[in-house]
Chain A
Amino acid sequence: MIQTKKLVKRFGLKTILRGVDFSVAAGEFVALLGPNGAGKTTFLRILATLSRPSLGKVRVAGFELPRDAAQVRAKLGVVSHMPLLYPDLTAEENLMFYARMYGIPNMAARVTEVLEMVGLELRRKDLVRAFSRGMQQRLAIGRAVLHEPQVMLFDEPYTGLDQDASEMLDNALRYVAAEGRAVVMTSHDLARAEDLATRFDVLSRGVIAASAKREELAQTNLLAFYKHSLEEK
């Protein structure tokens, strides 16, 4: 569902990604781990069509980037630490707006379905401005799954959330992942990543330094694997 080969990204003279080989199959939930400045967000922005690769091949949902960016966008849901929602519109109006932008048929029914999924059906007429950070993030997930994407990208979705909100987000993420989508999530929260992901990749200094499936980590814990990957690199 996602495949990159020798992906390089440069900003001027600075090389952020130095040949990333990465793939995710349908139904896989990959936690992309790494220290600050490793290039996780840049990598996700390339997959999300928001940035162009400097070199290398990128395929998402069967389409090549950047050539088929419009087709990829139709198959992609993105949640970042910013909710991408309009504070002066209600929850329902925000979702209706994005439903129009994605050409979703039966918009009203789909919006109701999504609001129920993220547990905000009773707050549908409330302005997003009045929502807590956790509620905004749940609505952001609703926005991202509105068009039933095949690929989901989460960039540090837990940033700024308290414990209760994080647990609610866990449930929303499990729900999203359970539907056979390919999911990639960047996070600094190893405990949450360990709880949710089926595979763990460590991005360090612009390359994938290590990769392990959940069952391969049975003998050790994620923290030890992560530290070992960074030391090796």
Chain B
Amino acid sequence: MQDNPQPSTLKATLAIFLKDISSEFRSFELISAMLVFSLLVIIIFNFALELEPLVRKAANAGILWTTFAFAGTLGLNRSMSVEKDRGCMDGLLLAPVDRAAIYFGKTLSNLAFMLIVEAVTLPIYSVLYNENLLRLDLLVVILLGSIGYAAVGTMLAAMSVQTRMREILLPILLFPIAIPVLLSAVKASGGLLTGADFSEVATPFNLLLVYDVIFIAAAFMLFDSVVEE
């Protein structure tokens, strides 16, 4: 019996992130569900809203973020259910690491799954809606919006997964709390897609940055008490 050095928070975060990625790339359960859902949503919107080109331009950001938010919720729910259903969350909590590592590890993997789904969805959306979405400024907004959504979503998923109504509870908790991030992201994306300069969307963009920092900090501080029995 020996004393092992306690692993750093960074190493433990990376271990959890890599574990999630390896596990998912073997089963594709989570990404495939998110992807199919995203594609269905954009196809349904495409047929349902036969809009004038100008009106469609204005609706793009809303459709895009509705798709990302719902698909993201699917992923967040599944990602935490995997830990809970087989008792693996206890396995993580039993490890002698700072619990922030569990939060950051899970947030990073949830963010990675969201970004993978977005990377596939965006080109298909561009073709279907005849709108080039593969622009650096828009991609930065999407990245920031996804970071905020994953940050608050991971914390709430850890909370809701402990209840019997977890599939219903997560969206009920998440959507109202994530409204500041989603609104800023929609405003910034909408502005860019209707031809505004970056300086014109600076306000929602800066708000998005601030909300990301606030959500990450709040979730980091609360996570320990959320997972505590």
- Name A residues whose Cβ lies closer than 8 Å to a Cβ of B: 45, 48-52, 70-71, 73-74, 76, 78, 80, 82-89, 93, 97-98, 100-105, 127, 143, 147-150, 179-181
Contacts and interface: CB of A to CB of B under 8 A. Distances in A.
Contacts of A48: 94
Given A51-B229, A74-B96, A89 B4 contact: no
Given A89-B23, A103-B7, A148-B2, A80 B90 contact: yes
What secondary structure prevails in chain A residues at the interface with B? Answer: loop
Max chain A Cβ within 10 angstroms of own Cβ: one of B5, B6, B19, B94 = B94
A142 to B, nearest CB: 13
Contacts, number: 97
Contacts of A87: 86
Contacts of A105: 4-5
A147 B15 contact: no
B97 interface: yes
Contacts of A89: 19, 22-23, 26
B87 A100 contact: no
Given A80-B90, A101-B15, A101-B92, A150 B1 contact: yes
B66 to A, nearest CB: 30
Contacts of A127: 26
B58 interface: no
B202 to A, nearest CB: 42
Given A83-B86, A84-B86, A93-B19, 13 more contacts: A70-B6, A70-B98, A74-B3, A76-B94, A83-B87, A88-B22, A88-B26, A98-B95, A101-B16, A101-B97, A102-B4, A102-B96, A148-B1
Contact of B88 (A78, A86, A179): A86
Nearest to A93: B22
B103 to A, nearest CB: 14
A101 B18 CA distance: 12
Contact of A88 (B2, B27, B91, B228): B27
B23 to A, nearest CB: 4
